Amino acid sequence: MWNAFLPPGEGMDRDHEVINVCGPRAVDISKLGNFPATMVVVGGFDPLKDWQRRYYEWLKRSGKDVHLSEYPTMVHAFYIFPEVPEATQLILEVKDFVNKQCSKVVKN
């Protein structure tokens, strides 16, 4: 799958800025004034949770408006299962996040 995302000839470099946007080769976004507010969702049993937390911390260090939402007992992509109560909870949380961001735009 790495080859599907990496430019041709780049090899299997997991620190490539296309794969690891907040890694050692990350672009400096600290001076980007139009970077949107971001919501990062982490499931406690998600195998990518460490990458997601690093992304959240990088956004925070870059001075961006970022919100972390953690679901300690959830797996990767738990929100696609409507029978899981946390999926509904997350959808409502996303709705509130989007509404909050939209109200900021209207006020400006």
- Residue 36 covered by a domain: yes
Number of domains in the chain: 1
Q: What is the DSSP string of 1-42?
A: -HHHHSPTT--S-TTSTTT-TTSTT----TT-TTPPPEEEEE
pLDDT band at residue 19 using 50, 70 and 90 as cut-offs: confident
- Domain interval for residue 88: 32-46+67-107
pLDDT, tens only, 48-98: 999 999 999 999 999 999 999 999 999 999 999 999 999 999 999 999 999
Task: Specify if 51 maps to a domain.
Answer: no
CB 2 within 8 A of CB 10: no
* In-domain check, residue 97: yes
User: Do 68 and 42 contact (CB within 8 A), yes or no?
Assistant: yes
What residues contact residue 17 under an 8 Å CB cut-off, 6+ apart? 23, 25, 26, 27
More confident position, 28 or 14 = 28
Asked whether residue 93 is domain-assigned, the answer is: yes
C-alpha closest to that of 96 among 39, 55, 23, 44: 39
